[in-house]
Amino acid sequence: MDISVDLIFLLIASLLRPTTCTGDLTKGTLCGCKMIRQCYVDMLLDLHERDEAMCIEDVEVGTSTYLVYFKALQKYCSSVFNFTVDYTTSESRNLYEILVHMPKADHEKKGESIPIILLEAGQSGGLDAVRLSLSIIERLVACEENDHMIQNVRWIFLPCTNPDGLEYVRFGRPDWVKNTRKSKGGESYGVDILRNFDIHWNECEKVKSVLDPFYPGPSANSEIETKFIRNVLLKYKDDIKSYLSIRRVGQHGILYPHSFSDQSDDIDPRQIKVAEMISLKVNQRGGALQAFVNDSIYRINGKPVCGSSVDYAHAQGIQLPFELRVGFEKDMQILKSFQSVGKGHGAALRAAYFSGLRELHAIITNAKEVI
């Protein structure tokens, strides 16, 4: 799919509403940044109009929104941002692979391998995970104070790995967790991407009904979305130091393998320690109403889940694979029945999650010793 620059301008003007984000470009403070990168300033000065939002966290998230956003970032900030599209869904929506990186000349000269942090979001549909992935991209691209985070690490984003499910949730089914591919008989549709990877796929109790919200598909790796995530993992696996799958299911927290069983003797102690360090940082920064937990996926679920991308990444030898659960949207609806919740709570949580990613970056670049 291609789009003209003129159309980008028109779409930006129509999509970036309403505004609640405050900031002053002349002082370089905006959307959580202490100093805005010049290319981002240029983009906003050219495309932003009065009474429009300037921060991605204040924009209505949808597939057309982030298409425009990525096109604009690639036009203005190509020195640190690039995207490619090699896969489309059954409903012809793009599956984006994003690179955020500021190459250092000395690395290029030496031909050094640059470690990768891979963040993938939205397998389970919904807005929270995708909004967070866009917010992280924004902070890395827009904020000059984060230069060190993109100089010695390549950040690969798969910012919305179930766009069909996202759009279905936006327009009428808030509890939907599958994609929307129609079954052969046409009587129903959708496969749970969370359970479709070729890892212990046949070892859980079989869900045969296509009507079930946890239907894992007719076979492992049957879905385009699964193939997309799997192939990116395989393409970069020698350089990926951490894989985080951002999801909206359950209590928010960072969870390590396994999903299919409680194999405590097979859990990497480094994964446990890193999860603890990230969780501590998020809780310190966020002041959350609900604690950001760290534990194994199996223990938090309380039951086996087979076919998980996190278990698949673990099996490929990726050192630090995690689920990053961001279920605060539904949690907030419940908590509001018992206590007041600050208006900026969601933004504070996103800032806390980013603080946890800073901790992960420090660990991967050996700025912090783990064990």
User: Does residue 134 sit in the same domain as residue 147?
Assistant: yes
Q: Does 13 fall in a domain?
A: yes
What pLDDT, in 10s, does the model give residues 71-86?
A: 999 999 999 999 999 9
Mean pLDDT for 168-183 is 85
Say what the pLDDT of residue 332 is: 52
What pLDDT, in 10s, does the model give residues 72-130?
A: 999 999 999 999 999 999 999 999 999 999 987 655 545 578 999 999 999 998 888 99
Q: List CB contacts of 237: < 8 A, sequence separation 6 or more.
A: 316, 317, 318
Q: What percent of the chain has pLDDT over 90?
A: 58
User: Does residue 87 sit in the same domain as residue 41?
Assistant: no
User: Does residue 31 sit in the same domain as residue 11?
Assistant: yes
Q: What percent of the chain has pLDDT over 70?
A: 81
User: Does residue 132 sit in the same domain as residue 61?
Assistant: no
Mean pLDDT for 299-323 is 95
User: Does residue 211 sit in the same domain as residue 303?
Assistant: yes
What pLDDT, in 10s, does the model give residues 232-266?
A: 999 999 999 999 999 987 778 999 999 998 876 67
Q: Does 371 fall in a domain?
A: no
Domain C-terminal end among 29, 56, 79: 79
Mean pLDDT for 190-209 is 92
User: Does residue 151 sit in the same domain as residue 193?
Assistant: yes
8 Å CB contact between 32 and 139: yes
Q: Does 355 fall in a domain?
A: yes
What pLDDT, in 10s, does the model give residues 270-282?
A: 999 999 999 999 9
Say which residue, 28 or 70, is predicted with more confidence: 70
Domain C-terminal end among 79, 95, 124: 79
Determine the Cα–Cα distance for residues 223 and 158; give it in Å rounded to an integer.
16
Q: Does 296 fall in a domain?
A: yes
Domain C-terminal end among 24, 47, 79: 79
User: Does residue 27 sit in the same domain as residue 86?
Assistant: no
Query: What total of structural domains would you count in the chain?
Result: 2
Q: Does 369 fall in a domain?
A: no
User: Does residue 92 sit in the same domain as residue 75?
Assistant: no
Q: What is the CATH number of the domain that holds 233?
A: 3.40.630.10
User: Does residue 26 sit in the same domain as residue 112?
Assistant: no
Say what the pLDDT of residue 210 is: 86
Q: Does 370 fall in a domain?
A: no
Say which residue, 162 or 339, is predicted with more confidence: 162
Mean pLDDT for 316-345 is 68
Pull the structure tokens for residue 75: 């036009």
User: Does residue 21 sit in the same domain as residue 121?
Assistant: no
User: Does residue 156 sit in the same domain as residue 301?
Assistant: yes
User: Does residue 166 sit in the same domain as residue 209?
Assistant: yes
Query: 10: domain range?
Result: 1-79
Q: Does 317 fall in a domain?
A: yes
Mean pLDDT for 140-161 is 96
